[in-house]
Chains A and B, each alone.
Chain A
Amino acid sequence: MFVSDEDLMMKCRKGDIGAFELLVRRYQNPLINYIHRFIDDYHRAEDLSQETFLRVFKSASRYKPTASFKSWLYTIATNLCRNEIRNRSRRNTCFLEELVEEGEDVYYTEIMRDTRYLPDVLLEKKEQRQIIRKALAQLPDNQRVALVLVTYQDLRYEEVAEILGCSVGAVKALIHRARQKMKKLLIKAGIGE
């Protein structure tokens, strides 16, 4: 029997940790992917996902089922990501994945071990990932959040508007601008026309 996120959250509010575990299982991968695309650092993405789940658990008593759980979760994650990016710019940090790209490619070794594809196909996939990652990193924060939430997390425009705290019309504009910019960046990188 499928139990909705909101029902699980209400159970968690009454102290049911099992219900919360089910929520973590449901959202761990989408959340890590979202944060990873936002901040472009896998290990830090895991830390921030953990922090997001903890914040959700701590404020479970204040949760009201009127708001969608998904939107609430992504709002918390978005705020954490924004803080992370702000802190990064202050610290001016050099990231592991940037180092990896220059030197040994540890991050992609798992993909390369995949025997379903030929090595050249895998290499192409890896290159595509890198191009997309770089292009996404060049988008302004709001455009990136809106595009990632719609394209990868399958959120509706209304939910994105709730997360970003803007109107649906503004989300439409953000998505369109982000796609236009991505199109240009991909063409520049040699993909498409």
Chain B
Amino acid sequence: MKKYKRTKFPDAHNSECEIASRDELSAYIDKELPAWKRHLIRRHLKRCNVCANDIQRLQHTDNFLRHAGDVDASDGFLGSVMTRVSEVAQHQRQQESLWTRIRRVIEVSLGWMPPLSKLSGKLRYNIRTRSPVYISILTFAVFTMVGVTLYQPSDDKFGEELRELDSEKLISFEVIQQEPPKRLLTTYLQRK
């Protein structure tokens, strides 16, 4: 088994003490040391009376402090805290913008706002990092698409022509319908 060399520590009470720092004693009382260190200290305390006494005194002080007793909150404490909290909540609700309110409603009701915000964040990042040429082409494309979708021609000449053509056809058809079939009539008269 490997043997560790004993070292002298400046704050140790004598040269034989294995405890590196006296702070470890308090940490030992509070159970804040790893198991292997606790084991070492426990073994050391069996041999070293000075450290054992120190630990005992510290433990005594700690126990005494723990018995100091507690104070309780007054009866109206919770009520007054909650009154002030609801005032603050109301004030916050009045202060927040329309967008924040809509966002909160969507967040609470649907729960899909985080991915959407991530998407918008990605878009913003792309715009910030890409070159100006890319941005201008993208903007042009978007505007063109929007323009094409929303465009409505104001003077509808082609439509008017079509309408005129249709009415002419209708008149000619009516004329044809109104004229008696001459050839048939003559043949009928001839037979009679």
List residues of chain A with CB under 8 Å of any chain B CB.
14-15, 17, 20-21, 24-25, 28-29, 32-33, 36, 42, 45-46, 49-50, 53-54, 57-58, 111, 125, 128-129, 132-133, 147, 150-152, 156-157, 169, 172-173, 175-176, 179-180, 182-183, 186, 191-193
Name the distance in Å between B112's Cβ and chain A's nearest Cβ: 15
In this complex, the interface size class of chain B, counting residues with CB under 8 Å from chain A, is: 35 or more
Interface presence of B73 (CB below 8 A): yes
Nearest-neighbor residue (CB-CB) of B67 within chain A = A128
**Chain B binding site: helix, strand, loop or mixed by DSSP?**
helix
* Interface of B toward A, CB cutoff 8 Å: 21-27, 30, 32, 57-58, 60-62, 64-74, 77-78, 80-82, 84-86, 88-89, 92, 104, 107-108
Task: Tell whether, in the assembled complex, residue A192 and residue B26 are in contact, meaning their CB atoms are under 8 Å apart.
Answer: no
> Do the beta carbons of B73 and A32 come within 8 Å of each other?
yes
Instruction: Out of A15, A28, A132, A150, name the residue touching B73 (CB < 8 Å).
Output: A28
CB <8 Å contact, A192 and B82: no
Query: From DSSP, what is the main secondary structure of chain A's interface residues?
Result: helix
- Interface pair B70/A33, CB less than 8 Å apart: yes
Given contacts A33-B70, A42-B71, contact A179 B26 (CB under 8 A): yes
Looking at B25, B65, B104, which has the most chain A CB atoms within 10 Å of its CB?
B65
A57 interface neighbour in B27, B67, B85, Cβ under 8 Å: B85
Known contacts A32-B73, A182-B61: A17-B30 contact under CB 8 Å: no
CB-defined A-B contacts under 8 Å, sample of 9: A21-B82, A29-B70, A32-B77, A36-B71, A58-B88, A157-B32, A175-B23, A175-B26, A176-B22
Q: How far is the CB of A109 from chain B (nearest CB, A)?
A: 13
What residues of chain A lie closer than 8 Å to B25, measured between beta carbons?
176
Q: Is the CB of A182 within 8 A of B77?
A: no
